[in-house]
A and B are shown apart, each in its own frame.
Chain A
């Protein structure tokens, strides 16, 4: 369908509405008299539409999206696995969806048990001692984790620890999270496998270092083989080690960050634990810590006392950093992650990780003949292709390749990340894809590379052609920002 998609503002007709209220059963109040000058003057120009038109508008909008429900979504670092439907049904049960967060604790024991049990299961999976479920997203979790590190050093009177070490291969959020919690970022170089070089790390470790942030497997999809030496070195220097849980999907039931020497971590429930991304959120970014940092966790925490669950607030937890958001986190998302873990059980979680690694290695081998791989040997759950040589040879950039992948009917992999690989193409197939899907994707990539060699970049610049829009002009969008609908006055 190529019909032009109108906005709700263009579709609006004065006098239409999509909702009727019950008749008012108490005496009406004159808002203008009651509120005086606080009463609204000019009404907001919201759309006026009948229900059927609203439903059709948003249904048609939805069809302009590509989604996991539609097909393969191999975005590296994003873990776009299938999102089980039963989890959606669970979160919508009235006993969860229609709970007020401040209603008496005795009327919310089931929800509190779920929070308590989910925290305990995440602690078990990661090897940590305590978990807060409050952070709303991965970056929010990072920020919270770094606050905990800051509070821990402060509590020891160690005020000079102002630096956070981040590898040059790190997710962009790591240095950003360090900056927004008042730390200065120091980069440590990685070797040609993206691994942190122990010597380089030791050279910059001193008593001003608060923490090292690492993701493991790293962003090239490789497990840090000197992980124990790295964490020991940081501990020896009086620092803490932070685990970015973005890549946990590779190692559930195989290795635990807590056993590797990590002190603080965040998880992305919308990656590893199957909750949907929703086009950018809501996610959830729980943070786990070792016992020593537990007193600093955000408040409130759920505790079990004499068979009853209670919320324990900051008044009883003097070292707590306080709140990072209201209430207890994105509860609806937490319900979905809980359902996911219960469905899989210990064997299923392990199998999810194993299959994510098997799928990645299978696809890496298939694509390794087309592109140089950024890793040697086997990868974990994702891998990075170096698009530099293809660009050098044919003039076809990684962006061109991504657009051709769209044309072939798939979502493209993550591109231009990690920064340490030129023209990077980062592929994460996840465990929920069948071998046939992987084969079809590999064939599409082969065709694209063949086309690059035979036809050159010009053949790519018009791509994609089958999508609702062709390549948008992003420069004009940024130079002359139009950020809201412009009404005709």
Chain B
């Protein structure tokens, strides 16, 4: 018997007797003989718990993790500190092992956590309505594009070349599957090329412009100016951003964004080889009933007490079936509980302090690397957050090899995807990097050997 099934041999015998069959195989008699199968020969034999731990430790040990190697790599996933209280809370079985809160009487914990999360996302983004979360930032962006197409009844999605390449790949996949057209607006000086954008919008057929700020290059876009252009062309402005950065950067909602999306890994979720974390999406009231995913709302119970429920269910796929505009019917709930614990611990001041340290350490690292004479900033004078593009004197591949040999994970090599940025190196510096680590990075990367 496996340790996860309580039935004893005697239990089974009694149960079979009660049902009135001789064996469990009799219960499978409905499976036609042609498809019956005996075994799973290629599955390795069962392991006891100590053996499971040993096997997984061996696999985990074959990796070198970012606790051991100071990480200057970002490109979508960032090494921010996570207070121990976050994991302590999300390890609770009451949060981990419950289902979607369809029965509100026994799910108020999950529901109130969602309601609070929605409020935090609204506060950070400056938008009126947030849903309960999406799969990740990239797919949330694609869903935002689809929403924009549906709201404008137009079929063309534009995005900036400085949007995260993986997000653009997901956008391409979703556009293809929904028969939407798309176009890429080039970047100039690290931010979206305004003249090229004017050209792309002039046809008047764009449903949306997707812009990322901080962009993939770390640069901060002028959202307000972009919003004016995009709205002038009757299109929707989708801003991809980062919740941690919004403790420091102006809220996109204040600047005219229509849909704000992004990945929530930075607030309380570990890197975990890229997942799970969550995507967020927030809109203003006109788009509220078109927003994909689930939403939690406040109401009262039959005795007049405050209560929370999943609401606006008419939008949800399980009702709409073939009329659905999105098929999302879950949220990354445990990851948003982590985010709300993180944001509650930090508060507005803590988040601003983290942002301030990120800015200071970034600037220190860039200054020191520039001074080594081996690097120059690709986009001098353009404000950046947490990440910036450096142009290296020597090939990035060789540079990262040297760093890895010295026990440091270097920046992201840009040239394979952006040939226009020769020896381009995307360097991320979070509050987790110490001066000592930065100095060591500079010594190795800026050294002559």
Contact = CB atoms under 8 A, between A and B. Distances in A.
A38 interface: yes
Contacts of B94: 62-63, 65, 67, 69-70
Nearest to B101: A279
B299 A434 contact: no
Contact of A357 (B24, B71, B176): B24
B357 A180 contact: no
A481 B170 contact: no
B112 A7 contact: yes
Interface stretch (B2-10, B193-201, B230-238, B370-378): B2-10
Most buried by B among A5, A41, A101: A101
B97 A326 contact: no
Contact of A31 (B1, B42, B356): B356
A356 to B, nearest CB: 9
Nearest to B131: A483
A412 B105 CA distance: 11
Interface in B297-356: 297-303, 305-309, 311-314, 317-335, 337, 340-341, 343-356
Given A175-B322, A470-B303, A352 B270 contact: no
A49 B83 CA distance: 14
Contact of B41 (A177, A274, A346): A346
A298 B263 CA distance: 20
A280 B263 contact: no
Most buried by A among B28, B71, B103, B106: B106
A475 to B, nearest CB: 9
Interface string B228-263: 000000000000000000111111001000000001
A281 B330 contact: yes
B409 interface: yes
Nearest to A166: B322
A55 B85 contact: yes
A367 interface: no
B202 interface: no
B50 to A, nearest CB: 9
A341 B273 CA distance: 20
B130 A484 contact: yes
A59 B85 CA distance: 11
Most buried by B among A256, A344, A484: A484
Contacts of B77: 100-102, 327
Contact of B108 (A59, A65, A228): A65
B372 to A, nearest CB: 16
B224 to A, nearest CB: 8
Interface stretch (B14-22, B151-159, B182-190): B14-22
Contacts of A143: 177, 327
A324 B106 contact: no
Contact of A279 (B88, B172, B247, B337): B337
B178 interface: yes
B346 A18 contact: yes
A95 interface: yes
Contact of A101 (B273, B323, B385): B273
Interface stretch (A84-92, A240-248, A452-460): A84-92
Interface residues on B, range: 35 or more
Contacts of B204: none
Interface string B270-294: 1111111010000000001000001
A217 to B, nearest CB: 9
Nearest to A75: B99
B98 A277 contact: yes
A199 B2 CA distance: 43
B100 A44 contact: no
Given A26-B435, A358-B16, A470-B303, A38 B249 contact: yes
A450 interface: no
Interface string A454-470: 00000000101001111
B73 to A, nearest CB: 5
Given A34-B359, A331-B274, A478-B313, A355 B7 contact: yes
A279 B108 CA distance: 11
A136 B275 contact: yes
B55 to A, nearest CB: 6
Interface in A382-418: 402-403, 406, 411-412
B120 to A, nearest CB: 6
A55 B303 CA distance: 29
A125 interface: yes
Given A31-B359, A346-B40, A406 B4 contact: no
B359 A29 contact: yes
A294 interface: no
Given A59-B89, A182-B178, A481-B297, A28 B271 contact: no
A80 B11 contact: no
Given A280-B330, A467-B106, A342 B44 contact: yes
Contacts of B6: 432-434
Given A19-B350, A434-B7, A469-B108, A95 B59 contact: yes
Interface in A49-95: 49, 51, 54-55, 57-59, 61-70, 73, 75, 78, 80-84, 86, 88-95
Contact of B311 (A9, A184, A432, A478): A478
B336 to A, nearest CB: 9
A362 B93 contact: no
Interface in B80-96: 83, 85, 87-89, 91-96
Given A7-B116, A172-B319, A365-B18, 13 more contacts: A29-B363, A44-B120, A98-B272, A100-B77, A101-B275, A111-B60, A136-B139, A260-B35, A279-B337, A281-B333, A282-B275, A343-B4, A481-B297
28 contacts: A9-B119, A17-B347, A18-B350, A26-B363, A43-B348, A58-B113, A66-B107, A95-B65, A100-B77, A125-B40, A139-B330, A223-B31, A253-B40, A259-B37, A281-B330, A326-B275, A327-B273, A327-B275, A328-B274, A342-B55, A345-B45, A378-B27, A403-B105, A470-B305, A481-B297, A481-B312, A484-B128, A485-B115
Nearest 10 A/B pairs, CB to CB: A95-B60, A327-B274, A345-B46, A110-B62, A69-B93, A101-B274, A278-B334, A282-B276, A18-B345, A176-B324
